[in-house]
């Protein structure tokens, strides 16, 4: 898993070769096949653990005001995710087994969507947001974060996270 952390999620899955993974892990091929069945099995296990780790950070932020919750969520998304989420999402359709694709999508959903939806639902219950279908609201918010992550320079994350959360809450109206 330590070797997978160094190589997966940073470049396309198809470009991650088994030989470098085994060399970094200092294991022989039978060890990989015994524990993970194949490279796809390793990728699925790595993704599940990677998303689980960030999901725990997101869940700790529920219970605050909408702006504070979205700022905290955005800050974690921009600062503390040690892999390229977009790359992992692009890799999913290339997985051969449908159950592998589903497992990685589920890990993403549980780590990001569920905590974000909890923040949004709590805000709707406190009348900080009008009642709306949660899925599209979460989709718009996450799409913006994905774009901001692509464009950012080091050090921009904290101010950008707060700015983005405030703009989102204000409906992207004039500043």
Question: Domain for residue 133, yes or no?
Answer: yes
Structure tokens at 116: 């974000």
Domain that holds residue 163: 2-169
Global confidence as pTM: 0.86
Residue 118, in any domain of the structure: yes
* Residue 126 is assigned to a structural domain of this protein: yes
Which CATH number is 73's domain given? 1.10.357.10
Count up the domains in the chain and report the number: 1
Beta-carbon count within 10 A of 105 CB = 13
Per-residue pLDDT of the chain (175 residues; tens, 9 = 90+): 888 888 898 889 999 999 998 999 899 989 888 989 999 999 999 999 999 988 888 876 556 889 999 999 998 998 888 899 999 999 999 999 999 999 999 999 999 999 999 999 999 998 888 888 999 999 999 999 988 887 665 566 678 888 899 999 888 443 3
Give start and end residues of each alpha helix (H) in 8-133. Answer: 18-25, 29-36, 39-59, 66-79, 85-91, 98-108, 114-125
Within 8 A by CB and 6+ apart from 33, the residues are none
Query: Does any domain span residue 175?
Result: no
Q: How far apart are CA 72 and CA 109, in angstroms?
A: 18
């Amino acid at each position: 898993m330590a070797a997978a952390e160094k190589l997966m999620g940073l470049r396309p899955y198809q470009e991650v070769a088994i030989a470098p993974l085994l060399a970094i892990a200092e294991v022989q091929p039978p060890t990989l096949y015994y524990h993970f069945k194949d490279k796809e099995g390793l990728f699925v296990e790595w993704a599940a653990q990677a998303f689980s780790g960030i999901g725990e950070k997101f869940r700790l932020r529920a219970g605050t005001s909408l702006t504070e919750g979205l700022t905290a969520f955005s800050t974690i998304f921009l600062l503390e995710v040690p892999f390229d989420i977009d790359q992992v999402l692009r890799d999913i359709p290339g997985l051969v087994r449908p159950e592998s694709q589903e497992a990685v999508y589920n890990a993403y959903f549980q780590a990001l969507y569920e905590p974000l939806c909890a923040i949004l639902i709590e805000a709707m219950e406190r009348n900080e947001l009008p009642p709306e279908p949660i899925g599209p609201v979460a989709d718009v918010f996450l799409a913006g974060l994905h774009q901001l992550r692509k464009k950012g320079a080091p050090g921009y994350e904290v101010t950008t996270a707060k700015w983005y959360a405030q703009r989102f809450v204000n409906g992207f109206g004039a500043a």
